[in-house]
Structure 1
């Protein structure tokens, strides 16, 4: 049996959680290994980032990932939290983990790169994985 590796980036919005719902609808638990990823972009001021902001962001991100994992019971799920530019980190993680499919939601904004989202657009251009874009 060929098990697919699926990467689901989430950003904390209800919209991003729709990717998890799609994976649950499309695959049975024994057919996929799922990794849910949350990347926190840090803002540096004069080359300095505030350590409390990092700690709070990491705590929030890990809670968000645990909540997402609870929404996909029965599946083999791993979690990944990181800091950086979301597009870069998603592409890098997909390559490192030999991901078959990245499942992302589209943006609510107008215009092509805004329709699918700038992060999704970046991932589409830079990954070798299949990218599935979940509509609203």
Structure 2
């Protein structure tokens, strides 16, 4: 039996890291290959990316991934960092990698109602694999 490919998108918030706890509690390390993904949006000024933002964003993104990776001791974990639109990047990665399962949290915070689960909803509508959404009160 081949290992299942599990993608866990994280944004660095405590909320997104709950997905890693779900993976640790519900999958055996010998059964899965886990990729933790962090996508940074790029800031543009007058049509050009601000190089300082890009450099700082990459440093922060890699720090987020390394901290997230520590939450899955014993698992075969790789990390993926990229710039772009989170929904698009997650969908594209899933298609290219042949991901079997995506595990991601959903945010229903009222003050962010215009973004409620926007990335999660975008991903669910576009991928052809299993998506496990972790509720806030998990």
The equivalent residue for 2:4 is 4
Give runs of aligned pairs for residues 1-136 of structure 1, distance below 5 A: 1-110=1-110, 114=116, 117-136=117-136
Q: Which moved more, 1:58-67 or 1:104-113?
A: 104-113
Quote how far apart the aligned CAs of 1:113 are: 6.9
In angstroms, what is the RMSD of aligned CA positions? 1.4
Gap runs ≥5 in structure 2: none
Distance in 1 (alpha carbons) for counterparts of 2:49 and 2:15: 29
Q: How many residues align?
A: 134
Gap runs ≥5 in structure 1: none
Distance in 2 (alpha carbons) for counterparts of 1:112 and 1:124: 18
Quote how far apart the aligned CAs of 1:94 are: 0.7
Structure 1 runs, 4 residues or longer, greater than 6 Å off: none
**Is the 2:8–2:103 Cα contact (8 Å) retained in structure 1?**
yes
